[in-house]
A and B are shown apart, each in its own frame.
Chain A
Amino acid sequence: MVSYVLKRLAMSLLIIYIVISLSFFMIRLMPGNPMAALESQLRMQGGLSEVEIQQRINAVYSVTPDAPVWEQYVQYVWGAVRGDLGRPITNPGTTVVAVIAEALPWTIMVVAVSLIISFVIGIAVGAMMAAFQSSRWSQSVTFVVSFLSAIPSYLVAIALLYVLTSVYQVFPSGGAYGVDVTPGLNGPYVISVLYHAVLPIAASVITSFGGWALGMKGSAVSVLGAEYVRAAEARGLSDRRITQSYVGRNSMLPMVTQLALSVGFMFGGSVFIETYFQYPGIGFYMIQSVGQRDYSLMMGCFLLITVSVIITNLLVDLLYPLVDPRIANPAARARAADQPTDTDQEVLPAGGSMA
């Protein structure tokens, strides 16, 4: 168990390090890179001495621009590790970390709530579909669910905006809470936050629960045909027992694995949803900074989204042995590997392959 945790932890740290290096590479080393662009822009403006230009760049990217590249790299990585990601070009009065720290909780709230809601609804619908496989109901639900899961979330967001904030003004069209409430733990604020979060959450749930439902159906159908289920039936176990501990638990396994993969997808989709609902999360700032060519803020958002995804993956990985004890126990894993697994039943990631 300890070695399993350590391995996961090392892998997560390695990926974070690689992403930091990648973002340094993109800022500094690519032809026509943002740092050179900023330097020439400052020079064009005139009225700044060479030293001042270097200081400005240093403030924005927190590296010394005339130092050798490897030294800049060390500065950048060390800065990122200490939580210093420079300053936004468009708003040098604050730091990238401060902007992100304000935005991240909103994103995490919306992503977590919509992931949980769509997972629960999807699993329930999928299990029902598997239970009544050949009924008319199941066929029509399969149709609706495949239809919904094929629609891009940003289009649902636009449609919701059009119908519910423009034609019928039921919901607010932007912001995380109303202007008339004071942030804090009071009733009106909480209600306002929930009220503003309804549309973003609805947009991602509508487009993502279908993937879960289809995955769960496929997984449950293949488990229903398994020998051990027939053996359990033959032993005369109650239906309830079979559904819960034989079918339910085993068909949930691939779904839980999928949960880890889909976290990244949900964070990615939140970029679109937050932009359209003007929800002040990290994706909203990321797109804004792209529009304003504010590369230090953009890279900060990218780093933070990646780190959030990696941490969530790590949590799921650590929780996984609870669901499937074979993972952390090498002997049991070896036994499981000997059994031929059914690769045809591979579940496709929710929302297509762009996870």
Chain B
Amino acid sequence: MSDAGEMSEATDLTDQERRFEEKIAAEERIEPKDWVPDAYRKNLVRQMSQHAHSEVIGMQPEGNWLTRAPTLERKQVLLAKIQDEAGHGLYLYSATETLGVTREELIEALHEGRAKYASIFNYPSLTWADIGAIGWLVDGAAIVNQISLQRTSYGPYARAMVRICKEESFHQRQGYQIMVTLAQGSDEQKQMAQDALNRWWWPSLMMFGPHDAESAHSAQSTLWKIKRMGNDEGRQKFVDQTVPQADIISLEIPDPDLRWNEERQHYDFGEIDWDEFMQVISGNGPCNRQRLGQHRKAHNDGVWVREAMAAYAARERDAEGEGES
């Protein structure tokens, strides 16, 4: 390559940067073929793969009740929901792969603890009511976040969110519907529902992450419009929409500081136990080891199957090649 070529490449770089910044400012989508700063790419891979892993690990606490679902209809709906989540995981892995990483690398990062998944799934699902609470609260919180991500700056991620949001609202409704049925049921069922709400409420609030001021990736992600909503804003939205739903079915939110603030036109609520939050994030929640262990085991048990697939595909390719010659 000539000197002139190298010169123009150097100028192009600043042009590229400028074009990238202009696109972000103009709310245009960044697409896989567009040049992006390395830090933007890394930030996205971190967030999108974490999102994909969350869908996949999230299958475990719900799968825990699949074989014990109390009616055939509930079993059918729960299996359909879990299948959706596997589909979301696959869709998000594919979207992440447009950034130049493979699913295998992403899974390796998960197994080695370099990649995270939503901490909420490190809590156990102990009764059937937990399946209701997960749909109602966990999916409810996830939707708040995912709706805002429909406007995220990376095209494949934004489009994945549009598709995923449609299914998530069905998930949230099926969860709430389980809670409604239990709350109208026997004393034991009501107690089961209340107990599930007690255990899942605070972890659901933690899903929005630390306060904005303390969030490690928030500032840069917001500048790049990867993140379109503050952690505290999302949390407030979730509380505001969920408290009336609990009231309707006479369940009590386990927060003595919760009250309507007429002036703010929002609910005030108590402070999260940030020590617990840090413990679970750093791997010391009730089910961290179990969840990761299960994923690792399934992955390792499947090695021979994936090897057989690869060997068979190679064999078929060879056979085709011979047929052509």
Chains A and B bind each other: no
- A residues lining the B interface (CB < 8 Å): none
